């Protein structure tokens, strides 16, 4: 059973995916961490994020055992990831790992930007999780505050809008809702309510 969860930044898809995976007893992969890790490795080597060849090399050498690095959750890495993720060679290199993860026995829950459209187009269930830019900015601001990273709402909102434009406008695997995905708008839902609705959809569609 493969569940693909896509959506823009700070829509709540990551939290939702983790909770669903835990509830269903399935492994979970936040695919965005792969791109953040590529960006981290490049920044650690002081390599320009705009260099597609260096980004592809970093993706090929990526150590997936280091995806628990707390630095990957920072605003800096989120912005950096949205740059390296535009490169076709980076996406192609990471695609194999994502598909192998999904194919493991029993299936998995994956979240990202192109899971239902590119990584797992034959997923048993596809969810597209979204929320208004303003609500997503408020959520991101709260997350940053919890980590002690200072943030200004208007700055965070501008970051959200810029990432949306970059994710939706890139030529390679742009962010979009798969035709057979179920839309889940979490603007007016807290984490518990969003989880309850997602679980209802899972049980209805997959009979689990």
**Which of 34, 26, 23 is CA-nearest to residue 4?**
26
**Which of 16, 147, 3, 165 is CA-nearest to residue 79?**
165
All structural domains of the chain, each given as residue ranges with its CATH number in brackets, are 2-203 (3.40.50.300)
Burial category of 3 from C-beta neighbours within 10 Å (exposed 0-12, middle 13-18, buried 19 and up): buried
d(CA 59, CA 33): 12
**Each residue's pLDDT tens digit, 148-192:** 877 899 999 999 999 899 889 988 889 999 999 999 999 999 999
- Determine contact, residues 125/3, Cβ cutoff 8 Å: yes
d(CA 35, CA 24): 26
Q: What is the DSSP string of 48-70?
A: -TT-HHHHHHHHHT--GGGTT-G
Report the predicted TM-score, pTM, of the whole model to 2 decimal places.
0.92
What pLDDT does 149 receive?
Answer: 78
**Each residue's pLDDT tens digit, 30-65:** 999 999 999 999 999 999 999 999 999 999 999 999
Binding site, annotated residues: 7-15
* φ, ψ dihedrals at 42, nearest 5°: -70, -45
Q: Which residues 6+ apart lie within 8 Å of 208 measured at CB?
A: 1, 24, 202
Binding site, annotated residues for ATP: 7-15
């Amino acid at each position: 059973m493969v569940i693909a969860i896509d959506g823009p930044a700070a829509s709540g898809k990551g939290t939702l995916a983790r909770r669903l995976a835990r509830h269903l007893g399935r492994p979970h992969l936040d695919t965005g961490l792969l791109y953040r890790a590529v960006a981290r490795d490049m920044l650690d080597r002081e390599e320009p994020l705009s260099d597609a060849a260096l980004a592809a090399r970093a993706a090929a050498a990526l150590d997936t055992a280091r995806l628990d690095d707390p630095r990957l959750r920072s605003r800096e890495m989120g912005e950096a990831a949205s740059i390296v993720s535009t490169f076709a060679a980076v996406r192609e290199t990471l695609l194999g790992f994502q598909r192998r993860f999904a194919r493991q026995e029993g299936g998995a829950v994956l979240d990202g930007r192109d899971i239902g459209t590119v990584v797992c187009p034959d997923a048993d269930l596809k969810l597209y999780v979204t929320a208004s830019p303003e609500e997503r900015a408020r959520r991101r601001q709260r997350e940053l505050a919890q980590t002690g990273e200072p943030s200004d709402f208007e700055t965070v909102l501008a970051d959200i809008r810029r990432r949306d434009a970059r994710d939706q406008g890139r030529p390679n695997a742009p962010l979009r809702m798969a035709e057979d995905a179920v839309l889940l708008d979490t603007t007016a839902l807290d984490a518990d309510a969003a989880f309850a609705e997602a679980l209802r959809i899972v049980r209805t569609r997959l009979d689990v």
